């Protein structure tokens, strides 16, 4: 099983700041099969990025993904008020599919 770790656990920032979230894998993620999701309280997760760097439909271009192998990054270039949420990475290159523990981005 591929274990995903995310850092930091919590990121305290202000609107307009740049957010950099990291996701590490215990072994190489095949074909950069790595996605990022945003989850707000009481809501279902929303797909942001797939294949490590492809934005899902309707996702603003302030969200970008990068990385390969075992190290991946989600960057939010300028935080908007609606971006404060929990972010999960997810690998789908191998079964079982696995998720990271999440990074909470909260308001400083």
Partner 1 sequence: EVQLVESGGGWVQPGRSLRLSCAASGFNFDDYAMHWVRQAPGKGLQWVSGITWNSGSIGYADSVKGRFTISRDNAKRSLYLQMNSLRVEDTGLYYCTRSGGSSSLLWWAGPWGLGTLVTVSS
The residues that touch partner 1, with contacts defined as CB under 8 A, are: 1, 30, 33, 35, 37, 44-47, 50-51, 56, 88, 90, 92-102
Share of the chain residues as helix, strand and coil, in percent rounded to the nearest 5: 5, 50, 45
**Measured from the CB of residue 35, what is the shortest distance to partner 1 in angstroms?**
4
* Closest to 105 in 3D by CA, of 1, 22, 2, 5: 22
Q: Which is nearer to partner 1, 15 or 101 (CB)?
A: 101
Residue 71 contacts residue 22 (beta carbons within 8 Å): yes
Q: Cis ω on the peptide bond leading into residue 41 (within 30° of 0)?
A: no
**Measured from the CB of residue 31, what is the shortest distance to partner 1 in angstroms?**
9
Q: Which is nearer to partner 1, 68 or 78 (CB)?
A: 68
**Measured from the CB of residue 63, what is the shortest distance to partner 1 in angstroms?**
14
Q: Which is nearer to partner 1, 71 or 99 (CB)?
A: 99
* Closest to 49 in 3D by CA, of 29, 39, 64: 64
């Amino acid at each position: 099983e591929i274990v995903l770790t995310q850092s930091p656990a919590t990121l305290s920032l202000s609107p307009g700041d740049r957010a950099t979230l990291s996701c590490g894998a215990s072994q190489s993620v095949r074909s950069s099969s790595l996605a990022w999701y945003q989850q707000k309280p009481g809501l279902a997760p929303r797909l942001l990025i797939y294949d490590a760097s492809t934005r899902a439909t309707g996702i603003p271009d302030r969200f970008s993904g990068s990385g390969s192998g075992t190290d991946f990054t989600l960057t939010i270039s300028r935080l908007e008020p609606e971006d404060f949420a929990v972010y999960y990475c997810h690998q789908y290159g191998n079964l079982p599919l696995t998720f990271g523990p999440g990074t909470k981005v909260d308001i400083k």
